Amino acid sequence: MIRKHSKISIIGAGSVGASIAFSIATQKLVSEIVIIDVNKNKAEGEAMDISHGLVTMSAMDVHSGEYSEIVDSDVIVITAGLGRKPGESRLDLAAKNVGIAKDISANIMKYYNGGVIMVVANPVDVFTYVVQKETGLPANMVIGTGTSLDSARFRYLLSEKMGIDIRNIHGFIAGEHGDSQFAVWSSVHVAGMSLNSYCAKSGIVIDRNEIEKQVITSGSQVIQLKGATFYGIASITAQLCNTILKDKRSIYNISTLLDDYCGISGVCVSVPTVLGLEGAIKRIPFDFTGEEMDKLAGSARKLREFLDSLNI
């Protein structure tokens, strides 16, 4: 059950932050939403706009505020940062956004008294790593949305290909939320049947390389078409917040600082993780195939090399 007073603070009132706030409000997840942005007018306007629709939602306090108002938050969502431009990779953003991550972390820790910090801003794995290091909080309390959206895209593409309800298709994307991510094909099943068995019995042929390519390029395609992505990540972030608030202990592929996970340490990448009120409660020791394990190690190595190049 949600506690009597529940609160989510959102840092960043751009399209992503505003969409997350709206998604949380429409799902009636909390009793208070605080929107914080250096552009105070933008934050106030977004809060007012959402508040004007509360008659269709629930009684809650949606308002703009300062960093001091993150006190007593159950979740602090970070969306602030420079957006990715067409043709620009997520990692290209890192050097620009590291300074922003450090500044946000310092402001949070002036008032922080608990709650899970959830990083949405890209490049999310780098941003999550910097926030965890700068705040000094336990690794379980600082998470990134990681490949949770990529996993949703993966399941959507498979459902479209097979003509099956997405809720009956399970599988996930692991590694970096970026070019070195990979589909964990060994995890895919349809209503309890392995993908290979289902496709063989149904006469369906899946081009795995094409599906994986579409997942990796989905974000770029949306950016090319409309300039930014925000609805998909907003719905996923709201779902993650709901899981934390209700301590559901559901498993998601989120980015956290790993410590000897399949031999990987000192980097934030996405692996199956139990999520609840205390954040990343447990990383699931998934049975990756040898090829998948090589891809995970390679993705982690790529991010570690990039962090080293930034001296962080």
Give the residue with greater pLDDT, 96 vs 266.
266
User: If you average pLDDT over residues 258-267, what whole number do you get?
Assistant: 96
pLDDT of residue 178: 87
Strand ranges across the sheet with 279-283: 61-64, 32-36, 7-11, 75-78, 116-119, 142-144, 250-257, 268-276, 279-283
pLDDT digits (tens, 9 = 90+) for 134-160: 999 999 999 999 999 999 999 999 999
Please pick, among 63, 170, 177, 189, the residue that the annotation labels catalytic. Answer: 177
pLDDT band at 1; cut points 50, 70, 90: very low
Q: What is the pLDDT of residues 154-177, one digit of tens each?
A: 999 999 999 999 999 999 999 999
Q: Tell whether the model's pLDDT for residue 2 goes beyond 60.
A: no
Question: Which of 1-5, 122-126, 165-169, 278-282 is predicted with the least confidence, judged by mean pLDDT?
Answer: 1-5
Percentage helix, strand, coil for the chain under 3-state DSSP, each rounded to 5: 45, 20, 35
* 108-133 confidence digits (pLDDT tens): 999 999 999 999 998 899 999 999 99
Map out the domains of the chain with their CATH numbers. Answer: 7-144 (3.40.50.720), 148-309 (3.90.110.10)
Q: What's the whole-number average pLDDT of the chain? A: 94
Q: Is the pLDDT of residue 46 over 80?
A: yes
How many Å is the Cα radius of gyration of the chain?
19
- Dump pLDDT digits (tens) for 171-213: 999 999 988 999 999 999 999 999 999 999 999 999 999 999 9
Helices assigned H by DSSP within 68-206: 94-109, 124-135, 148-162, 195-202
**Global confidence as pTM:** 0.94
Give the β-pairing of 268-276 and 142-144. unpaired
Residue 63 annotated in active site: no
What DSSP element (H or E) covers 303?
A: helix 290-309
